[in-house]
Structure 1
Amino acid sequence: MAKAKPVTDKDRERVRELHAQGKGRNEIAGLLGRSGRTISEIAKGLGLSFARAAEVRQATEIRQADLADRRAALAQRLQDVAERELEKVHQPHTYWDWGGKDHDFDTYEAPEPTPADKRALLGVVATAVDRSLKLAPPKEEGGADKVGSLLTSLFDQLRDRHGDH
C-alpha cells in the first residue's frame, strides 16, 4: 500500500482558497489529487466546514417550486387542449379521401363529426383533463370528484344525444 504524501502549507492554503470559492470537499479533492478524507482533515484543522445542509435544503425547495410551476403550466396547456378538442364536437368537420384508380384526393364538409369521431374527440378531452388533474389537483376537498362526475355526466349526455355507434 502506497504511503500518503504529507500535507504541506501550500496544500492547506489551496484548500482555504478553494473553500472560499464555494467549492465542495469532493471537488477540492479532485483538483488537488487528494482523498476526500484528507481534504476533510485539512479543512477541520483550518476550522472550515463543508456542512451545507441549509443551502442544500433551500436549493431543493427552489427546485421543487420550479417543478410545481412547470407542472401547473403543463396542466393549463392540457386544459387548453381539452377545451379546444371539446369545441370540435359540434363544429363542422372536414373529411378527406384519397383513392380511386386515378388516386384522386377529395374532401367534403360534414355539419358535425361522425359519432365515432366525436367519441375519439371526447377520449382526447378525457385524457387531457385526467392528466391535467393529476399534474395539478384541485385545492378544495372533493374537487377532483366533482370534476370527474361533471365529465361523466357530460359524456353520458353526449352518448344519449348521439347514440353509441
Structure 2
Amino acid sequence: MGSSNPVTDTERQRVRELHAAGKGRNEIATELGRSGRTISEIAKNLGLSFSRAAEVRQATEIRQADLAARRAALAQRLQDVAERELEKVNAPHKYFDWGGKEHDYDERWQDEPTPSDKRALLGVVATAIDRSLKLSPAEQDTEGLAAVDAWLKGMMPSAE
C-alpha cells in the first residue's frame, strides 16, 4: 500500500531548516502538519537526529570545567587570607577600648598580639588553608616524600 500523502522535497527541506534552527521533532510536526513519526523518518533519511544527549554531555562538561575554575580561584583567595592573617601573628597589634562611664575611646599598640589573639589568628589561618586544600588538593610529591623518609631513617640510630 502506498502513502496517501507523500512527503515532498519542499517538506524535506523545511524539516532540515527547522532542525538547524533548533526546533524539536514535535514542533516541526505541528508546523508542517505531519506526525512526529513522519518527521522522525524524514530526519533519519536526511541524517539528522533529535537526540540531545551529545549537547547535554557537552554542556555538562563545560559547566564542570567552569566550576573547577571557580573552585581553584576560591582556593587561591582562601590561601591569600591565610597568608595575610599569618603575617599578623608576629606584627604589632592595636588594641582599643570603647566605653566606660564617659564613653571614651582608648587605644594602645603592643609589639605583637596576645597569646589568645595569636591562637585566634592561627585558627583563621588553619581554617582557610584547610578549606583551600579541600577545594584544590595539593599534588602528591612522592619523590620528595621518599627523600624525607630516607633522611629520617638516616637520622635514627641503627638497630645493629
Question: Structure 2 length as normaliser, TM-score?
Answer: 0.67
**Residues of 2 paired with 1:58 and 1:96: CA distance?**
56
Summarize the alignment of residues 8-27 of structure 1 with structure 2, pairs less than 5 Å apart.
17-24=17-24
**Residues of 2 paired with 1:117 and 1:44: CA distance?**
71
Cα RMSD, aligned residues only: 3.0
Summarize the alignment of residues 1-165 of structure 1 with structure 2, pairs less than 5 Å apart.
17-24=17-24, 28=27, 39=36, 41-47=37-43, 48-140=48-140
Seq. identity, %: 69
**Residues of 1 paired with 2:93 and 2:65: CA distance?**
42
Q: Pick closer, same or farther for the CA change 1:65–1:115 going to 2, 3 Å.
A: same
**Residues of 2 paired with 1:24 and 1:91: CA distance?**
65
Write the deviation string for residues 55-94 of structure 1: whole angstroms up to 9, x where unpaired. Answer: 2222211111111111011101100000000000000011
| Contact 2:24–2:50 under 8 Å retained in 1 | yes
| Contact 1:93–1:112 under 8 Å retained in 2 | yes
List structure 1 segments (4+ residues) > 4 angstroms apart after TM superposition.
Answer: 11-17
Aligned AA (1:119): R
Q: Pick closer, same or farther for the CA change 1:76–1:101 going to 2, 3 Å.
A: same
Aligned AA (1:135): L
Structure 2 residues not aligned, in runs of 5+: 1-7, 146-160
Aligned AA (1:51): S
Helix, strand or coil at the partner of 1:96: strand
Which structure has the greater CA radius of gyration? 2
Helix, strand or coil at the partner of 1:46: helix
